[in-house]
């Protein structure tokens, strides 16, 4: 059994140094890796990123992260990424990584993702250039997620996980105002996950949303925004993957 600890939207700043570290230090006892689903900082400043870096350095389990919209606010995502990587975290944007823990090879494909909405109520690639670029950016994020998941599948990982900040499904947004669903996620991410296959999809961003959801292809989706899970992290369990079974048909994460 593979144990996946995950949390997003921790929104750390100088006054929150050390807040999560005591809980994170228990991770080797209960998890094989830690996933961070974006919005790790409040405004995306290097100072805030250094706070996060000190929380996750030398935890004894691999740390894999994506950035969120807050981490882009100060227009220095590359600096934020570099600081987190210096602390040992794998920070992904349109890439995948394979970590080995407990004898299992765990593949994580990550992208921040973007908005656009869901089937029947989504933005289209039509009209003004800025609108077309909005949708094209969402599509590029989704395409990179699909490609990364496919590459991980070719590497024969024991489990594959899609890690995003924006949601791939509307299920995990239940509780948020319907009017803002297009700014909380995109069906394109779910299409990418179902096309490539995955054993679990993890996201954040929707603070008033719901933890449990599923893609139309049967991949379990978990909203791990800290206001939703109400703890430092939540642990999900995955069976060691049958390499001849697609991720969509794998057993459910608990």
Comparing 208 with 250, which gets the higher pLDDT? 208
For 65-69, 117-121, 131-135, 138-142, which range has the lowest pLDDT when averaged over its residues?
117-121
Alpha-carbon distance of 155 to 196, in angstroms, equals 13
| φ, ψ for residue 150, nearest 5 deg | -65, -40
- Helices 129-154 and 187-196: angle between axes, nearest 10 degrees: 20
What the block records as the tokens of 54 is: 């000190």
pLDDT digits (tens, 9 = 90+) for 142-172: 999 999 999 999 998 999 999 999 999 999 9
Length reported for the chain? 254
pLDDT over 50 (residue 104): yes
Average pLDDT of the residues in 84-103: 95
pLDDT digits (tens, 9 = 90+) for 8-19: 999 999 999 999
Alpha-carbon distance of 149 to 162, in angstroms, equals 7
Secondary structure of the chain in the HEC alphabet?
CEEEEEEECCCECHHHCCCCHHHHCCHHHHCCEEEEECCCECCCCHHHHHHHHHHHCCCCCCEEEECCCHHHCCCCHHHHHHHHHHCCCEECCCEEEEEEECCEEEEEEEECCCCCEECCEECCCCCCHHHHHHHHHHHHHHHHHHHHHHHHHHCCCCEEEEEECCECCCHHHECECHHHHHHCEEHHHHHHHHHHCCCEEEECCCCCCCCEEECCCCCEEEECEHHHHCCCCEEEEECCCCCCCCHHHCCCCC
Asked if 203 contacts 241 with a C-beta cutoff of 8 angstroms, the reply is no
pLDDT digits (tens, 9 = 90+) for 213-241: 999 999 999 999 999 999 999 999 998 85
What the block records as the tokens of 119 is: 């089937």
pLDDT over 80 (residue 102): no
CA angle 223, 229, 230 (to 5 degrees): 150
Task: Give residue 247's pLDDT band: very low, low, confident or very high (50, 70, 90).
Answer: very low
């Amino acid at each position: 059994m593979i144990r996946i600890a995950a949390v997003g939207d921790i929104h750390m700043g100088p006054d929150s140094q050390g807040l999560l570290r005591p809980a994170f230090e228990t991770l080797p006892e209960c998890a094989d890796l830690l996933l961070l689903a974006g919005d790790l900082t409040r405004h995306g400043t290097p100072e805030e990123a250094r706070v996060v870096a000190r929380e996750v350095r030398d935890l004894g389990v691999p740390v894999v992260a994506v950035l969120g919209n807050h981490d882009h606010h100060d227009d220095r995502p590359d600096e934020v990424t570099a600081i987190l990587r210096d602390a040992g975290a794998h920070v992904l944007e349109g890439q995948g990584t394979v970590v080995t823990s407990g004898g299992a090879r765990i593949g994580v494909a990550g992208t921040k993702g973007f908005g656009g909405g869901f089937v029947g109520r989504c933005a289209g690639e039509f009209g003004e250039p800025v609108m077309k670029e909005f949708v094209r950016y969402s599509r590029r994020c989704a395409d990179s997620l699909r490609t990364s998941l496919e590459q991980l599948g070719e590497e024969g990982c024991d489990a594959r996980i899609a890690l995003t900040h924006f949601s791939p499904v509307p299920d995990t947004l239940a509780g948020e105002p319907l009017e803002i669903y297009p700014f909380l996620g995109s069906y394109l991410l779910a299409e990418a996950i179902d096309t490539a296959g995955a054993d679990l999809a993890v996201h954040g961003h929707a603070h008033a949303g719901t933890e449990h959801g599923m893609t139309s292809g049967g991949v379990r989706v978990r909203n791990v925004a800290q206001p939703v899970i109400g703890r430092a992290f939540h642990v999900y369990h995955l069976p060691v993957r049958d390499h001849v079974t697609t991720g969509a048909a794998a057993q459910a994460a608990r």
